[in-house]
Amino acid sequence: MGDRDTIPPGPSRGSLSLEETAELWRHYQEGKLSSCPRDAGPLALSVDGGNCYRFVCTWCGTATIWFEANGSGVHFRTMPPPPPLPEEE
């Protein structure tokens, strides 16, 4: 893990790729500690109750998109499109 005193403060650095997410998940399943690929900060794992997960760096806020993990690998969860807006009369 990185040294927090050496990390410059700054805004979140966005989201991690599917490949980075899959690698973090593999490490997690193997019982290994993983750190943020952006700043080596510690990661928190969020679970939404529907078998979807999300890693978030506790230092910089970089995060994965919500994903599902099963025997066939890691898949980003897709959100359904929003309902159409009502037509104006």
Identity (one letter) of the amino acid at 11? P
Place of tokens 């897709």: 78
Residue spans of the domains in the chain: they are: 13-76
- Residue 6: predicted pLDDT: 52
In 10 A of CB 61, how many CB atoms?
16
Least confident of 4-8, 19-23, 60-64: 4-8
pLDDT band at 81 (very low <50, low <70, confident <90, very high): low
- pLDDT tens track for 25-47: 999 999 999 999 999 999 999 99
Between CA 32 and CA 69 the distance in angstroms is 17
pTM over 0.75: no
Mean pLDDT of 5-22: 70
Structure tokens at 78: 């897709």
